[in-house]
Structure 1
Amino acid sequence: MPLIASADAARVNRRRGSAADGVSFWHTLYLGTTRYNMAPDTPDPAPDALFPMAFLVEQDPGTTASAHYHQQDQFQLVVGGRATLGLHDVRPVTVHFTGAHTAYGPIRASQDEGVWYFTLRNGFDPGARFMTIPENRVALRAIPGRGHRESVAGPLPPATAPTETLLGPDPDGMTAWRYRLAPGATASGPDPANGKGQYWVVTEGSLTRDGETLPPMSCAFVFPDDAPFAAIAGADGSELIAMQFPRRE
């Protein structure tokens, strides 16, 4: 059964945070858990377990998040402000995918606005491994069979089609799409069995699902064995970004 996180419900989780590299931000948890809200001595979920993690980062203006990597595949969706992400200029709406153990960044937030982005994972990650720390660089090089995997789409122009593919589709199922729905139209997503979980984020307008209204900045996680995601656009229509993780053995 999909996990649904309304932006209105998630707002109570907004907390001030800072990373090990000193960058400061606001952190809003949507799904799962992170090291910013885990109770002391709570064991980490297994790295290979299907464990959705979704949170919104509002990175402070003028700050730089150092280049780093994670142990999990990850989508980031830029929904506010401006930044450079590595060599890429990013602003709403930009979709960024990095494979597990792929170093990326730095993320340099604009001086005037900062930058807002969703971080979306299908497995638990204990935190960033910063490339400024020699031990992390050594550990990354020692991982067998690793390769650099990174894809970016955006900043996106205004939508001109009801559905468009933004990233992929890759042979292992990694794909991202954009949907533009007229008022009252039904969103019907692709088969989740083709990947290892999907995130859906409302970037404009609203959705109604099972009687619940999902305003902008709401999200849902669809498990691989769920039925295709379906929801109805609100009175002003809706724009959605759907992101599907690659299958992993």
Structure 2
Amino acid sequence: MPLTASAEAARVNRRRGSAADGVCFWHTLYLGTTRYNMAPGTPDPAPDALFPMAFLVEQDPGTTASAHYHQQDQFQLVVRGHASLGLHDVRPVTVHFTGAHTAYGPIRASQDEGVWYFTLRNGFDPGARFMTMPENRVALRAVPGRSHRESVAGPLQAASAPGETLLGPDPDGMTAWRYRLDPGAPISGPDPADGGGQYWVITKGSLTRQGETLPPLSCAFVFPNDAPFQAGAGPSGLEVIAMQFPRRTTH
């Protein structure tokens, strides 16, 4: 069954945080858990388990998050502010995908307003492994069969079609789409069995599903064994980004 997280409900989870490289930010948990809110002594979920993690990062203006990598596949969705992400200029709305053990960044937030981005994973990750630390570079080189995998779409222009493919589709199912719906229009998503789970993030308007209305910056996670995601646009229409992970492998 899909998991949903309203932006309004998630707001109570907003916490101040700082990373190992010294960057400060606000962190709002939507789904799952992260090292910023886990109780001491809580064991990590298995790295090969399907475990949705979704949170919103509000990176402080003028800060730079050092280049790093994670043990899980990851989507990032820029929804406010602007920054440079490696060689890419990212503004709303930009979709960024990195495969497990792919180093990316740095993320240089703008001086005036910083940058907000969702971090979305389908497996538990204990945190960033910064390339400024020699032991992390050694560990990355030791990962068997690793390859650099990174894709970017955006900043997106105003939607001119009801549906468009932004990334992929790749042979292993990794794909990202954007949908624009008129008020009250229904939507049926792609078959989630083609990938390793889907996130749906509302960027404009609202989404209605089974009596629930989700406002902008809300999200849903669809499991691979769920039926295609069914929803409708709210009274002001809907713009939503759907992101599908590659089929699961053991990293």
2:115 maps to: 115
Supply the AA of the counterpart residue of 1:94: T
CA distance in 2, matches of 1:187, 1:113: 34
CA distance in 2, matches of 1:230, 1:203: 17
- Cα RMSD after superposing both structures: 0.4
Deviation at 1:3, TM superposition (A): 0.4
1:202 maps to: 202
For residue 104 of structure 1, give the secondary structure of its aligned residue in structure 2.
coil
Aligned residue-pair number: 249
For residue 169 of structure 1, give the secondary structure of its aligned residue in structure 2.
coil
2:50 maps to: 50
Give deviations 1:124-156, integer Å, cap 9, x for gaps. 000000000000000000111000000000000
2:91 maps to: 91
Supply the AA of the counterpart residue of 2:94: T
1:180 maps to: 180
CA distance in 2, matches of 1:248, 1:218: 25
2:158 maps to: 158
For residue 140 of structure 1, give the secondary structure of its aligned residue in structure 2.
helix
Supply the AA of the counterpart residue of 1:44: D
CA distance in 2, matches of 1:219, 1:187: 15
CA distance in 1, matches of 2:179, 2:69: 30
2:9 maps to: 9
Deviation at 1:248, TM superposition (A): 2.5
Moved segments of 4+, more than 2 Å: none
1:73 maps to: 73
2:139 maps to: 139
1:191 maps to: 191
What TM-score comes out, normalization by structure 2 length? 0.99
Deviation at 1:187, TM superposition (A): 1.4
What TM-score comes out, normalization by structure 1 length? 1.00
Deviation at 1:247, TM superposition (A): 0.7
1:148 maps to: 148
Deviation at 1:106, TM superposition (A): 0.2
CA distance in 2, matches of 1:120, 1:207: 19
CA distance in 2, matches of 1:73, 1:116: 20
Give deviations 1:63-97, integer Å, cap 9, x for gaps. 00000000000000000000000000000000000
For residue 117 of structure 1, give the secondary structure of its aligned residue in structure 2.
strand
For residue 135 of structure 1, give the secondary structure of its aligned residue in structure 2.
helix
CA distance in 2, matches of 1:176, 1:137: 30
